[in-house]
């Protein structure tokens, strides 16, 4: 039984590698996205030291409340949203917000009045940025949330074991800021929802 599980895991890993290469090959080489941190994320960054953990169809909600179909790619340390254009993938456009989201200091919350929805809130910055995504069903939403949370936990474990990341001082500052954001969570979501939401947004 353990052997079967190990074989299944290996097959699944190979399938994810194949899938990532497939998406990479279809991504427009000119497409680039600025992350919230200011770092630029290009096609090559999809495969640069990263593994595909999960992917599938989701929808992004813009500030006007309109939905955009996207293909979501959860990689080792980032969540990437792609859209199809001229039979190629490009980084999705969403108002002035980034569609390449770091898992560092990410807060994931369910949308109170939408059972298929998730809020993805980038903390650790002076101005938190929020993206609302919708899955095809409540079950699919729960799957995404669980896998994203697992990926975030793995990153924290790696950092605890001494994998190089930011400096200790930077990490403490970001952790403190994350705690502040979590403490302000209900107010932050109300403020950031602002226009474009007729229903109240709360945790």
Q: Which domains does the chain have, with CATH numbers?
A: 2-193 (2.30.29.30)
- pLDDT for the residue 167: 45
| 19 close to 52: Cβ distance less than 8 angstroms | yes
Q: Which long-range contacts (CB under 8 A, 24 or more apart) does 146-153 make?
A: 147/53, 147/54, 147/74, 148/74, 148/79, 148/103, 148/106, 148/108, 149/108, 150/53, 151/53, 151/74, 151/76, 151/77, 151/103, 152/103, 152/106, 152/108
Looking at residue 198, the DSSP 8-state letter turns out to be S
Structure tokens at 65: 């409340």
Q: What is the C-alpha separation between 203 and 193, in angstroms, rounded?
A: 12
Alpha carbon of 161 to those of 94, 102, 144, 155: distances in Å? 36, 20, 26, 10
pLDDT per position as a tens digit, 126-154: 788 999 999 999 999 999 999 999 999 98
| 132 close to 111: Cβ distance less than 8 angstroms | yes
- pLDDT for the residue 192: 47
Instruction: Taking each helix axis as running N to C, give the angle between helix 185-193 and helix 168-183, from 0 to 180 degrees, rounded to the nearest 10.
Output: 80
pTM of the predicted model, to two decimals? 0.76
Least confident window among 16-30, 130-144, 148-162: 148-162
- pLDDT for the residue 175: 58
């Amino acid at each position: 039984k353990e052997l079967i599980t190990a074989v299944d895991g290996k097959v699944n890993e190979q399938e994810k590698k194949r899938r990532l290469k497939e998406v990479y090959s279809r991504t427009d080489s000119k497409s680039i996205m600025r992350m919230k941190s200011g770092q630029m994320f290009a096609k090559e960054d999809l495969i640069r030291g990263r593994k595909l953990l999960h992917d599938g169809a989701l929808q992004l909600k813009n500030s006007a409340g309109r939905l955009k179909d996207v293909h979501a790619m959860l990689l080792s340390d980032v969540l990437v949203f792609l859209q199809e254009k001229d039979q190629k993938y490009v980084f999705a456009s969403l108002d002035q917000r980034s569609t390449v989201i770091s898992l560092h200091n990410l807060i994931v919350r369910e949308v109170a009045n939408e059972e298929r929805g998730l809020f993805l809130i980038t903390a650790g910055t002076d101005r938190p940025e929020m993206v609302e995504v919708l899955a095809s069903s409540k079950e699919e939403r729960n799957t995404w949330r669980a896998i994203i949370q697992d990926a975030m936990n793995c990153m924290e474990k790696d950092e605890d074991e001494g994998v190089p990341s930011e400096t200790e001082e930077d990490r403490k500052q970001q952790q403190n800021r994350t705690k502040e954001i979590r403490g302000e969570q209900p107010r932050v979501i109300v403020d950031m929802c602002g226009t474009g939401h007729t229903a109240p947004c709360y945790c």
